[in-house]
Structure 1
Amino acid sequence: MKDEFVMMQFSIYTRHCASEESTEVHMKRVREAVPQKGHVSILKVTDKQYGDILNFFGATEQLLPPAPTQLELF
């Protein structure tokens, strides 16, 4: 949670990464934090694929919050 992961459901967390390099940094952090008898699976999806997720809560559909804006350096 302190690394900006958001709980999507029990035991499933998501995190937006703006680049492949950022993704690699966070995957390394997760890999180093896995308990000796733990198990972590990582699924990488593109912004478009993530944007196509449908969530249903009870009888109503709710949209996901917008993805964070990307930092651009010139």
Structure 2
Amino acid sequence: MPDAWRAMWLMVSYDMPVGSPKQRREEARFRKMLEREGYVRVNFSVYGRFCGSTQAVASAKDRVRRGMPASGHMLMIEFTDGQWGRIEHLHRGNYRTPDPDVEQARPVQLKMF
């Protein structure tokens, strides 16, 4: 089996209430925990991390579960490295500052490490 189909990524997507100062602190604490654990932001409230193996994914999932605040909604999705590499990240217009090396009208595919 090729390495790209054995190595694993974990994507965490969450939606948490931020109506009160306490809820905002809890969301910030969770987001910072993800960043300390090595997750990179893919989109708003969506983070991804290379785990290497299914055992590392299971361990990472346990740590995320323990760090989740009492309220909110979260999805954890496992991808093989080959599947992660085929994800297309597209943005156009004024959503982000355009890269001078890339035509603004052309879709851009980003690959993380």
TM above 0.5, one fold?
A: yes
- List alignment gaps of at least 5 residues for structure 2: 1-34, 93-104
State the match for 1:11 in structure 2.
45
Aligned equivalents of 2:60 and 2:88: distance in 1? Answer: 25
Q: In the superposition, relative to structure 1, how do residues 37 and 22 fare at CA in structure 2: closer, same or farther (>3 Å)? A: same
Aligned counterpart for 2:62 among listed residues 1, 4, 28: 28
Identity %: 30
Structure number with the higher helix fraction is 2
Q: Higher relative contact order by CA 8 Å / sep ≥ 6: 1 or 2?
A: 2
Partner of 2:106: 60
Which structure shows the higher strand fraction? 2
Q: TM-score, normalised by structure 2?
A: 0.54
Structure 1: segments with no counterpart, 5+ residues: 68-74
Aligned pair count? Answer: 67
Aligned residue among 42, 62, 65 for 2:76? 42
Aligned mates of 2:112, 2:72 — CA distance in 1? 31
In the aligned structure 2, how far is the partner of 1:38 from the partner of 1:20?
26
Give the TM-score taking structure 1 as reference length. Answer: 0.79
Q: Which runs of 4+ in 1 moved over 4 A?
A: none
